[in-house]
Structure 1
Amino acid sequence: MSHAGFALDPRLANDTRHVVSLELCDVLLMNDARFPWLVLVPRRAGMAEICDLSPDEQTMLWREVTLASQALRAQGDFDKLNLGALGNIVRQLHVHVVGRREGDAAWPGPVWGNGTALPYGEDALASLLQGLRDALG
């Protein structure tokens, strides 16, 4: 489902792979094998903050964040799931869901801006995308 005037920010389009479209959000996988990392982008034009969404859309967003969190957790054993809606560089409203493990490349700090992304290999990417799609229905 698309929404009038919505376009994915080019930086997100460049750094991610599409997983699935839910009722409100596109679920994207950050192409960085160091961190299992989903990005949910509500298909609404001109949105920068969660409070820009209607109350019903805010509820739907958190429902979809929960679904994405569960799907990501089903793909691996994580010590912690980090959630964030920063938007300091990419202003388009988006929510990060990052699977973290003690000792990962950024632990215990944030993943944002940490080092250089390591793209998934073709087989690993295909397998992870399929697992996420299966988990998200």
Structure 2
Amino acid sequence: MCFEIHSKLLEDCLQLGQLQLCKVLLMNDSRFPWIILVPRIADLCDFHELPHENRQDLFNEIETVSRTLERLFDVDKFNVAALGNQVSQLHIHIIARSKSDCAWPGPVWSTGKTIPYSKEMQDKLVEQLRQSIEDLTY
């Protein structure tokens, strides 16, 4: 079977590009700097299904994205999670949290309404992230 990104992720996110293992998405919610990594391997649902030879790559990519967000935003804490209750495809949320964000200290899920990026901010942030995430191709 071919790798495809789940339709819900495509609906909710902007595509930034790809790293060695993962597609890199930006959650279209301007309240939080929020990247999603999707390993480009078909039919993965959980971490334990990821082939051993790809596990270090995934953690390296989480680190790369986290360090990039840390350089670009005021970050007090990272939330890194792979929940999968609504989208079973393995994907990893990397959310840069700030004590001043609207959900702090609670979870970002089910907190208020999503506020999509304006077209201007979307273009600016996508370009900034594409230039800043090491080894990203698009």
Length-normalised TM-score, structure 2? 0.93
Quick check: 1:97 aligned with 2:98?
no
2:131 is the alignment partner of 1:134? yes
Aligned residues: 134
Q: CA deviation at 1:50?
A: 1.0
Instruction: Give runs of aligned pairs for residues 29-108 of structure 1, distance below 5 A.
Output: 29-108=26-105
Deviations 1:43-66 (A, max 9, x none): 111101111011121111111111
What is the CA-CA distance between 1:113 and the residue it aligns to?
2.3
Q: Which runs of 5+ in 2 are unaligned?
A: none
Q: RMSD of the TM alignment (CA)?
A: 1.1
Unpaired runs of at least 5, structure 1: none
Cα distance in 2 for residues equivalent to 1:58 and 1:88: 22
The residue type equivalent to 2:59 in the other structure is: W
**SS where residue 117 of structure 2 aligns?**
coil
Partner Cα separation in structure 1 for residue 110 and residue 84 of structure 2 = 13
Moved more, 114-123 or 35-44: 114-123
Q: CA deviation at 1:130?
A: 1.2
Which secondary structure state, in structure 1, belongs to the residue aligned with residue 72 of structure 2? coil
Give the 4+ runs in structure 1 shifted more than 2 A.
none
* One-letter identity of the residue aligned with 1:96: H
1:120 equivalenced with 2:117 (yes/no): yes
User: In the aligned structure 2, how far is the partner of 1:114 from the partner of 1:94?
Assistant: 20
Percent identity of paired positions between Structure 1 and Structure 2: 40
